[in-house]
Amino acid sequence: MTESTASKPLNGETCLWTSNGKKPGRNGFVKTHCLFQQQKCRRPQENHNVWHNASVYNKPFVESFEETPLLVAVLTYMGYGILTLFGYLRDFLRDWNFEKCHVAKERDEQKDFVPLYQDFENFYTRNLYMRIRDNWNRPICSVPGARMDVMERVTHDYNWTFKHTGTVLFDVINMGSYNYLGFAENSGLCANAAVEAAMKYGLGVCGTRHEIGNLDKHEELEKLVARFLGVESSMVFGMGFATNSMNIPTLAGKGCLILSDELNHASLVLGARLSGSTIRVFKHNNMQSLEKLLRDAIVHGQPRTHRPWKKILILVEGIYSMEGSIVRLPEVIALKKKYKAYLYLDEAHSIGALGPGGRGVVDYFGLDPCDVDIMMGTFTKSFGAAGGYIGGNKELIDYLRTHSHSAIYATSMSPPVAQQIITSMKCIMGEDGTTLGQERLCQLSKNTTYFRRRLQEMGFIIYGNNDSPVVPLMLYMPAKIGAFGREMLKRNIGTVVVGFPATPIIESRARFCVSAAHTKEMLDTALNAISEVGDLLQLKYSRHAWPSDEETNHFSYLDSHQD
Amino acid sequence: MDVKNMREYMGWLYYQYLLITGIYVLEPWEKSIFNTVLFTMVAMVVYTSYVFVPIHIWCNFETRLKKKDKYYLICHLPKCTYRLLELSLIF
């Protein structure tokens, strides 16, 4: 529970039989020809997960997932226990009509039927989520750039209903939008081009790609995306989630095996389930676990008949948005080549955000795009638009054009959105004649390093890779989720806080997304506010010794002011 | 000035207590219920320890002094306890 899965090595098994003709050693343990040997010494590892297989990486891969402190874990469980008791109390009062029930209920006439609503499924929603609901779904009334305007809301019945007061909080620093390169703007090159496209094509497409919804803008965009990624051909779709959930069923079916990472996004999980293939899950970013699954799959084949699998598809993401970790792509590619599997890489968060040229995680590691069979990504995050793409071989993409559900049934991308992507992509590639793209990439990388370093020095527990622009800050306790969101908004900073069920029950967090549009002053303001709130709420759990702020942490509570 | 700092500090401690137990998210009447229950339990613990802990310490001391190993034969434990209970009832 408190240890991270990425840093734990697989337990060595004692094999009584030999698969490769070698005699077992004294304790029955056979050395297998695994590509990635398990760690021999079983010392508890330092949490900085560096250099397991140094030969395939050309730069340090530093990820850290610090363990939950035991006291904090115990107190978090205690907090959840107390809130559960009060949840039962409130449910009892609602059931016996001592207080008004705001939740959907069946009518009296239907009491004898099979119940429509299972109470316990919504227990968490009714009794915890509702109490801190004002931290989510905040209405924004401006473009979600580096600063945004948030509409103020009040609630008179403890978050069951909201009313707008009419006031607007201006210039709230936006630390929650996926705006990695700052292309979410309402003026400038991209916006003007999008306006022109709207004037020429209108806004609606009124058809699917198969029928009259295929515009020349889509063709232009697809050629550009293929050139950007370095693949032969690509196809774009109107919605990022639908790209995954509608295309994985096209690629894999019955008799295929899907190996998917533990922490994959809901769209990948949904697509895998819809496909009807067998799904096996490997531990997050753990190459030994993946290798074991591959070996077992090839040795044993399909479950009952032991026939070989039709294909084995590995589903991974470039950056995992809840952890901030980057996939170990060189190792995955080495495994894929050795065991003849296919790789599906979902670069929703990493395209445009990683790599010297902004071409994603493949560029970040300096690998060949041809090694990844299917490169998928979305335009929502770094390009300031909406939609998704899939890139790969020409045969693959031609197959998808005819067989994908998205192509046949879903409306295609709107023209101004396609134009926004075209302009922003050309800007990143440097083809529009300015150095704006390169400047933004450098700014993002600098901002990421600075922000992460400062937060770690302050003493917070930060998960993830040092180069990922997604920064999760651990909160743990349920009351602190609500308190953090509210305190940050009071200081004019908009943040996203996440709890169960998007994360494990005790590991709730606040997730910051660093953007190239943030200037250093904005980041400093935000960091000072985060430090203040961290002292107020006692969030500085980290036990690593950082040189600058260790002395001040002990006495900082005397200076902090109360709520 | 010192009183103001103390009050601020006590307020901050109360805020930490609200956050750690998770009561921060509850409505005011639920907070009152929890505080009342907790305060009652703590008061009962304090009262019991005030009444019974000194006598148990004293009897243990006596046991060790007289080198006997039977706790309940030593001293006038029932009478002492009775007297102390009488005293506490007066208060």
Residues A260 and A393 in one domain: yes
Residues A501 and A518 in one domain: yes
By CB atoms closer than 10 A (0-12, 13-18, 19+), residue A141 is exposed
Residues A244 and A327 in one domain: yes
Q: How far is CA A502 from CA A4, A322, A326, A509, in A?
A: 17, 8, 18, 10
Single out the residue of B46, B50, B68 nearest to residue B59, CA to CA: B68
- Mean pLDDT within A377-386: 92
Asked if B20's CB is within 8 angstroms of A75's CB, the reply is: yes
Q: What is the pLDDT of residues A440-484, one digit of tens each?
A: 999 999 999 999 999 999 999 999 999 999 999 999 999 999 999
Count of CB atoms situated within 10 Å of the CB of A276: 13
Distance between CA atoms of residues B91 and B85, nearest Å: 10
Asked if B9's CB is within 8 angstroms of A131's CB, the reply is: no
- Chain B residues near residue A483 by CB distance under 8 angstroms: 19, 24
User: Is B20 touching A (CB cutoff 8 A)?
Assistant: yes
pLDDT of residue A3: 38
User: Is B17 touching A (CB cutoff 8 A)?
Assistant: no
Residues A141 and A262 in one domain: no
- Mean pLDDT within A189-213: 92
Residue A524 has which token pair? 């400093």
Asked if B8's CB is within 8 angstroms of A79's CB, the reply is: no
Q: Report helix, strand or coil for A316.
A: strand
CA distance B28 to chain A (A): 11
Q: Nearest by CB to B22, which of A477, A538, A563?
A: A477
**Greater model confidence, A374 or A53:** A374
Please, what is the Cα angle at A382 between A378 and A386, to 5 degrees? 45
pLDDT of residue B7: 94
**Residue A539 reports pLDDT greater than 80:** yes
**Residue A538 reports pLDDT greater than 60:** yes
ipTM surpasses cut 0.90: no
Average pLDDT, chain A: 86
Asked if B20's CB is within 8 angstroms of A80's CB, the reply is: no
Most confident of A100-104, A412-416, B69-73: A412-416
Q: To the nearest 10°, report the CA torsion of A252, A223, A467, A523.
A: -120
Single out the residue of B64, B79, B6 nearest to residue A562, CA to CA: B6
Helices A329-339 & A287-300 angle (0-180, nearest 10) = 10
CA distance A171 to chain B (A): 28
> Burial letters for B27-55: b for 16+ Cβ neighbours within 10 Å, e otherwise?
eeebbeebeeeeeeeeeeeeeeeeeeeeb
**Greater model confidence, B1 or A518:** A518
CA distance B35 to chain A (A): 12
Asked if B27's CB is within 8 angstroms of A558's CB, the reply is: no
**Residue A206 reports pLDDT greater than 70:** yes
pLDDT of residue A18: 42
- Contact of A169 with A489, CB cutoff 8 Å: yes
pLDDT of residue A14: 36
Whether cis (ω within 30° of 0) applies to the bond prior to A501 is: yes
Residues of chain A by 3-state class (helix, strand, coil), percent to 5: 40, 15, 45
- Chain B residues near residue A158 by CB distance under 8 angstroms: 27
Q: Nearest by CB to B22, which of A82, A158, A561?
A: A82
**Residue A146 reports pLDDT greater than 50:** yes
pLDDT of residue A544: 80
C-alpha A199: how far from chain center: 35
Distance between CA atoms of residues B23 and A256, nearest Å: 50
- With an 8 Å Cβ cutoff, the interface of chain A facing chain B consists of 75, 78-80, 82-83, 86, 89, 128, 131-132, 158, 477-480, 482-483, 536-538, 557-558, 560-563
- Polymer length in residues for chain A: 563
Q: What is the pTM of this model?
A: 0.83
- Polymer length in residues for chain B: 91
Single out the residue of B50, B54, B17 nearest to residue A82, CA to CA: B17
List all residues 6 or more positions away from A222 whose beta carbon is below 8 Å from its beta carbon.
A233, A234, A235, A236, A389
Structural domain harbouring A379 = 189-429
Helices A70-95 & B2-21 angle (0-180, nearest 10) = 70
User: Is B12 touching A (CB cutoff 8 A)?
Assistant: yes
Categorize the per-residue pLDDT at A164 as very low, low, confident or very high, splitting at 50, 70 and 90: very high
CA distance B12 to chain A (A): 5
Residues A416 and A494 in one domain: no
- Contact of A560 with A536, CB cutoff 8 Å: yes
Domain residue ranges of chain B, discontinuous segments joined by +: 27-90
Single out the residue of A147, A207, A204 nearest to residue A177, CA to CA: A147
Residues A371 and A457 in one domain: no
Categorize the per-residue pLDDT at A26 as very low, low, confident or very high, splitting at 50, 70 and 90: low
A538 belongs to a structural domain: yes
pLDDT of residue B71: 59
Q: Nearest by CB to A86, which of B15, B16, B30?
A: B30
User: Half-sphere exposure of A343 toward its Cβ, with a 13 Å CA cutoff?
Assistant: 27
User: Chain A residue with minimal CA distance to B11?
Assistant: A562
**Residue A17 reports pLDDT greater than 50:** no
Looking at A375, A399, A429, the residue that finishes a domain is: A429
A27 belongs to a structural domain: no
List all residues 6 or more positions away from A173 whose beta carbon is below 8 Å from its beta carbon.
A146, A147, A492, A493, A494, A518, A522, A525, A526
A453 belongs to a structural domain: yes
pLDDT of residue A153: 93
User: Is B22 touching A (CB cutoff 8 A)?
Assistant: yes
- Contact of A516 with B62, CB cutoff 8 Å: no
- φ, ψ (nearest 5 deg) of residue A8: -85, 130
Please report, for the domain that includes residue A95, its CATH number. 3.90.1150.10
Residues A170 and A202 in one domain: no
Residues A354 and A499 in one domain: no
Asked if A132's CB is within 8 angstroms of B19's CB, the reply is: no
Categorize the per-residue pLDDT at B55 as very low, low, confident or very high, splitting at 50, 70 and 90: confident
Average pLDDT, chain B: 82
Sign, Cα dihedral of A319, A258, A263, A268: positive
Quote the number of domains for chain A: 2
Residues A360 and A227 in one domain: yes
A85 belongs to a structural domain: yes
- Mean pLDDT within A270-279: 95
- Chain A residues near residue B18 by CB distance under 8 angstroms: 479
A531 belongs to a structural domain: yes
User: Chain A residue with minimal CA distance to B33?
Assistant: A86
Asked if B19's CB is within 8 angstroms of A477's CB, the reply is: yes
**Residue A549 reports pLDDT greater than 50:** no
Categorize the per-residue pLDDT at A32 as very low, low, confident or very high, splitting at 50, 70 and 90: low
Please report, for the domain that includes residue A411, its CATH number. 3.40.640.10
pLDDT of residue A15: 35
Residues A345 and A223 in one domain: yes
Categorize the per-residue pLDDT at B65 as very low, low, confident or very high, splitting at 50, 70 and 90: confident
DSSP B24-37: GGS-HHHHHHHHHH
A258 belongs to a structural domain: yes
- Chain B residues near residue A127 by CB distance under 8 angstroms: none
CA distance A131 to chain B (A): 6
- Contact of A145 with A494, CB cutoff 8 Å: no
- Mean pLDDT within B17-33: 94
pLDDT of residue A288: 95
Residue with tokens 């449910």: A91
**Residue B27 reports pLDDT greater than 60:** yes
User: Chain B residue with minimal CA distance to A83?
Assistant: B22
Residues A314 and A332 in one domain: yes
User: Is B30 touching A (CB cutoff 8 A)?
Assistant: yes
Count of CB atoms situated within 10 Å of the CB of A97: 8
Distance between CA atoms of residues A493 and A522, nearest Å: 10
Pairing state of beta strands A374-378 and A342-346?
parallel
Residues A295 and A159 in one domain: no
Residue with tokens 């929890």: B34
pLDDT of residue A34: 59
